Each structure stands twice: as structure tokens, then as C-alpha cells.
A and B are shown apart, each in its own frame.
Chain A
Amino acid sequence: MEFLRKPNAMLGLLAVVLGILALAVWVPADTGSGLVEKARGKYRIGDALAPAVAFSLLIFSGLLLLWETRSKPAQQLITRHHLVFTGGLLLIFALSLAAMRWTGPMAVALLGAGGEGAGYRELRDTVPWKYLGFALGGSSLVGAFICLASRKLRLRFFLIGLAAALAMILLYDLPFDDLLLPPNGDV
């Protein structure tokens, strides 16, 4: 059973276990009809059949991968660097999308723009309010990823991000009235 320590074998095993769990628990519990159902005196395929086929294929793929791995040398696939990187990129997305979502509404609330009772929703089609979130969120997203790729922290990376966000505004928002930049479709 030494070969089960190979990363590909672990992937195969994971596929088999996930497939069995899904077939045994998830599919029966989370579908409205069985594999086959009888409606108005006729048999028809139920909603559970297609997912059951897909998970059965997953189990078969896992077993096949275990079989394929027997004779192949072990190779390192996922390292802690991949996990750290994934955590980092999710953090960048969380922060920059939060900036995208809340900068406009917070600026309107703090500056009291639009008068009594007016919120961001009323101003979301008005310059500059409608661009604030996208410009800040977009520039921080691009700038942070350039910093990550370069392994350096520089202000000009965020300025490049700002230029990219402004280019997107020029491309999508200025010429087309019916296209909404983030977050203006959500607020």
C-alpha cells in the first residue's frame, strides 16, 4: 500500500470517497425525485439520475487513477506554497471586493451627498459616486496582485491598477448606458 502515499493516488482515493459519500448521502437527500419516477402512469427519469451518473463516473475515475498510479513515480503536486498562495489571493479578493462594494455607499453617507434621506442607491448613476468603489476596489485588486507577482510593494503598482480601472470605465461605462460596473447592479 506504499503507492497510496503518492499524491495522484491520494487524489484518486479522494475522488472515490467523495463520490461514494455523494451517492450515499448528498444525492438522496438533496434531490426532489429519485432515479426514475412514475408520473401520470408513465415512467420518466428523475432528478437524481444525472447527478448519480456523474458521481459514479467520479468514483470510476478515482479507481482508474489509483490503477494508473501503481506503476508511475511519485511526484509532488500540491505544496504548502499553493495553499498559502490561495489564502493570499482569497484575502486580496475579499478586501478589494469589499472596497468595491462599500466605498461608494460609505462616501455618500459620510459626506451627506444628495441631500436629506438620499443614499448611494439614488446616486449610483451619478459621477463621481458611481465610480468610487470600482476605482478603489479595482486599483487595489490589480495593485495587490502586481505586488504579489513582483514580491515588491510599490505605490506605482496601485497607480497602474487605477489606470486599468479608469480604462475599464472608459471601455464599458462611458459609451454604454445599459452596462453597469461593480457594485452598481447590487445596490
Chain B
Amino acid sequence: MSEAISYIWLGVLAVFEAPALFSLAGIGIPAPLVMLLCGLLTGIAVGATPGLAGPMAMAVSLPILISVFGVSADALLPVFAFLIGIMKGATVGGAVPAILFNTPGTPDAFMTTLDGHPMTLRGTPERALKIAHFSSVSGDTVSDIVLFVCAPFLAVMVESVLDLPEKTALIILSLSFIAAVMGASVAKGLISVSLGMVSAYVATGQGFHPRLTMGVEALSDGFPLIAAVLGVLILGEVFKSIFDMWRGIRRKRAEDHNADLAPDGLRPGDIRRILPHIGRSSLIGCMVGALPGVGSTLAATLGHSLGKRRHETRKGPTDKSFGEGIPEGIAATEAANSAVSGANLIPVLSLGIPGNAAAVFLILAADSIGGFNPGPSVFNFAAPEINPELVVAFGIFTLMALGNLLNWTIGGIFMRSMGVMARVPNRILLPVVLLVTLTAIYVQETSLAALWVAIGFGVLGFFFRVLEISVLPFVIAFILAGSLENTARQAFSASGGDPFFLFRSPVACGMLAAAVILVVLLARKK
């Protein structure tokens, strides 16, 4: 216990005693704090802009951050601070265009439009935005507390219980789970995983022959990670949005509502009436977020549906229902989708398995800088000397707590001033995002070939979206495929070449059985 407290303290010190970026009234302001604030404001602005998303801002900023802070161990916390700030800010900012202009930037923000935009049409946009901010930051805070408590315990348990065969089986189970729960079809999720694995295996391996390259010299180093991930995740999304604009596919607008004669802003009793919804939706968000790949859309939908059911049983005959512009509807949705963000880091920090796009970028940053490999080995409290990775982990937790503090204080004010971002037309914004993303890739890879790789993966991501195949299983499989192969190789060698090495351990057998059962059950259900 005393080791844990020492490490928590070291993590706090790592943030506050980091090199100062500048001085204010003679006091040095540590770089991680400055970057956290910058990231948070950037994230809110990005979240408030329909068509942009947190991962896009992370992609663009990563090469700049690495150029500014370098690739030494000191760079880890400032870089993570900016990325965490974006993650938190984008979660809060997403409600702005949904409420003010009925233009959800993300699928989960669609549920916010149902009650948020009618409130705007009735002349109470500020009240709706304040409810959204309070609910979103509450959900995020609960989620972070769950992360701080669960991730270290889960990691310690995993490290003590799981050996190489079990770790191999755990990756297989995670990939099956992500494939099964994401998207409308289990089969399409598995196609996404298998293609992600195939792409990752090009030109890797242990032999001298670069496998699966078909003799193409340009492929002899494999696909650059950053180009492949940004291509599928961001370029694919931009291509699909431009295609929709080209074809004239538009979202429908909300109908007019009667004006609310009461003044705008929070009213007495607002917080009391939304608290039960925030509590319920935060728990839903945490549970959904802890599962890799499930995402905030399901949490928002579940939070809204359960909140609606509860509200219908309790409301009076003259009270409005969900969907007619009530604070409870916004609270149930925003708390649920924001509670996903912290909990989503549980699998990446405790198991090394990224559960969402933001976690993918944290892994990319860790991979680029070095000195921190997210996974169960990070939480080694028993190391004879100070474990630097554990200090970084607690530094990340400190930054997340500080991010919440900033979100509670200045986040709301900044969020409400960001309505102007939703007025930037997507037909201009998205091509600019395209150039920014390609420039970010080039700056890291310094090769036009890498841009073509990204464009190729972007076209793949475009067709995935057209064919309703989820792209996140592809990205996560691309990242985990190397670990899966290496762990399996080590487990096989350690077993003395036993072909049934995965089936000798009851835990590994249980995980493999769970993977099969999950796929079969969800395939039947969907």
C-alpha cells in the first residue's frame, strides 16, 4: 500500500515538477499543465466543429508535439497532457453543434440533438448548454475515478495470473469481442479484423524474406503505422463525408417548436432533477467504456433509452417527455457518452489493448517517444528500483484529474463561446482537414510514398464505410497483430513446440471458449 501511495505522489510530482514552459509572476508553469490547458481548449473547439473529431486533432498535433518536446522520457507527460486535453475537450464540445444547430458531429451527439435542439428553438440554448456541460463533466469525472481504481488492480491481477499462452488467448478474445460488438454484423467485424491482421503482417516476420510483399521493394518495410491508421480512420471518414456532399445527401432538420417565455440559463431545481440521470448514465458509460471497442454511441443510446423509460414512469401528466426538449434527455445522453472516455483507457493501460480511437493515438504517441509501453507490466509496484513507467501512469492519472478540474472551471465558458465553429461549412472544412492530415503524415514519415499508403488505406476506409464495415476493429487488429504473433511465438517456444500450447491452460481455454461463444451468440442475435 505504501508503495502505491509513493507512486501516486511521484506521479503528481512528475507533473508539477516537470520543466517549466514559461514563467508567470516569477513562478515556472510546468509544461504538462500548459499543454493540458491548450489540449483541452483545442479539443472543445474541435468537438464544437461538426465534421471534426478528437482523433483528427490528435493526428495533426502529434508530429508538432514530438518536434517541440523530442523523444526523451521528459516528453511523455507534456505530449500525453495535450492528447488527454483534446480527448476531454472534444467530449464536452461535441454537444455544442448538436444543441445549437441540430448538426451532431458524432453519432452519439445525435441523441443530444433530440432534447438539446428543441430547447434552443424554444429560446433556451444557454440552459441546454449548461446542462450538457454539467452532465458531460460529471460523467467524465466518475469515469476517471473508475479508471484510477480499476486499471492498477486489473493490471496487477493480469500480470500475476496470466502467462504467455493466456496473454495470447486474451488478445484473441479482445479481437473477437471488438469484431463482434462493433457495427451491425459480426461477420463484417471479423472481416475488418482479418484484413487489419493481414495488413500488419506485410513485410514483418523473422525471416530474411519480407513476407507478403509480392516482391514490391516499396513494401519491404511494411505499411507505416501512422499512415495506415490515419488513412483508415480519418481520410476514409473525410472521403465518405465529401462523397455524401457530392451526392447531395443531407441530414434532416428539426421542426420548429414553441418559444419558451422563461429567461435563458440554469433554473432552480435543474441540477436536482438531472442528478439521478447523470448517476445512472455515468454507470452505464463506465461499464460500456471498460469493454474494448464498444464506444460511446452504445452508451449514449443506452443512457438515453433507460433514462426515457425511467422518466416516463415518474413524470406527471403535464410534464414533457424525452425528445420534446427537456434537461433530463440531455443529461442522460451526455453523462453516458462522456463516462466512456476515462473507462475506455482501462483496457489500454491495464492490458495494452486500445479500446477506442483516442487510445490508439495514446499508443502511437508512446510508440513514437518510447519509454512507456502501455500494458500490465506498467503497474509493477514490486520493482527493486523506481519504476519510471508507473510514475508516468500516475502522472497520466494526475493530468486526467487536473483536466476535469479545468473542464469544471473554464471548460463551460469556453464551450458556450464555441457556437461560431459550427458555422464553418463542411465542404470547406473537410478538404482542409485532408491537407492537414496528409501534411501531418508527411512530417512524420518524410516520404510521398507514405502519403500514397495513407490514401490507399483512406480508400479502403471509404469502402468499409460504404459497405457498413466498422473500421475500428481493423485499426485495433493492425496494432495488436504484432503482439499476438510475438506472444504466440514465445508461448510456443516456451512449451517446447507443443502444438496445443493454447489449450493446456484452463484460463486460456476459457478465454478461447468465450471468444467462440461471443461470436456465435452475437452472430445469431444480429
Contact = CB atoms under 8 A, between A and B. Distances in A.
Interface of A: 7-8, 11-12, 15, 19, 22, 26-27, 30-33, 36, 42-51, 53-55, 57-58, 60-62, 64-65, 67-68, 77-78, 81-82, 85-86, 89-90, 93, 97, 100-101, 138, 141-146, 148-151, 157, 160-161, 164-165, 168, 171-172, 176, 178-183, 185-186
A141 B431 contact: yes
B459 A86 contact: yes
Contact of B185 (A47, A65, A138): A65
A32 B201 CA distance: 13
A82 B435 contact: no
Given A90-B455, A180-B442, A181-B439, 13 more contacts: A8-B185, A31-B207, A33-B207, A47-B206, A47-B207, A54-B194, A64-B523, A65-B187, A67-B523, A77-B468, A145-B431, A160-B428, A182-B442
A45 B467 CA distance: 35
Nearest to B186: A64
Contacts of A183: 448
A101 B523 CA distance: 48
A67 B194 CA distance: 18
Contact of B435 (A15, A142, A150): A142
A67 B208 CA distance: 40
B401 to A, nearest CB: 30
A58 B242 contact: no
17 contacts: A31-B207, A36-B497, A45-B492, A45-B493, A47-B205, A47-B207, A54-B198, A54-B481, A58-B194, A68-B187, A78-B467, A82-B243, A142-B435, A149-B427, A168-B435, A172-B443, A176-B67
B68 A176 contact: yes
Given A31-B209, A57-B197, A77-B466, A90 B431 contact: no
B436 A168 contact: yes
Contacts of B209: 30-32, 47
Contact of A165 (B435, B443, B452): B435
Contact of B439 (A26, A144, A172): A172
Interface stretch (B149-157, B306-314, B341-349, B483-491): B483-491
A173 B201 CA distance: 34
Nearest to B205: A47
A33 to B, nearest CB: 5
Contacts of B246: 85, 148-149, 151
A51 B188 contact: no
Contacts of B195: 58
Interface residues of B, number: 70
B475 interface: no
Interface in B370-385: none
B447 to A, nearest CB: 6
A55 B198 contact: yes
Interface in B217-273: 239, 242-243, 245-247
B451 interface: yes
A177 to B, nearest CB: 9
Interface string B444-468: 0111100110010001001100111
A145 B246 CA distance: 10
A81 to B, nearest CB: 6
A165 B442 CA distance: 14
Nearest to A86: B459
B447 A186 contact: yes
B186 A68 contact: yes
Between A45, A81, A148, the greatest number of chain B beta carbons within 10 A of the residue's beta carbon is seen for: A45
B430 interface: yes
B432 interface: yes
Contact of B198 (A51, A161, A182): A51
Identify the 7 closest CB pairs spanning chains A and B, nearest first: A185-B446, A32-B207, A43-B497, A32-B209, A145-B431, A65-B187, A47-B205
B202 to A, nearest CB: 9
Contacts of B423: none
Contacts of B185: 8, 65, 68
A8 B442 CA distance: 36
Given A62-B191, A85-B243, A141-B435, A30 B448 contact: no
Between B242, B439, B447, B481, the greatest number of chain A beta carbons within 10 A of the residue's beta carbon is seen for: B439
B451 A30 contact: no
B205 A186 contact: no
A146 B428 contact: yes
B213 interface: yes
B161 interface: no
Given A31-B205, A44-B493, A179-B63, A146 B448 contact: no
B187 A42 contact: no
B245 A149 contact: yes
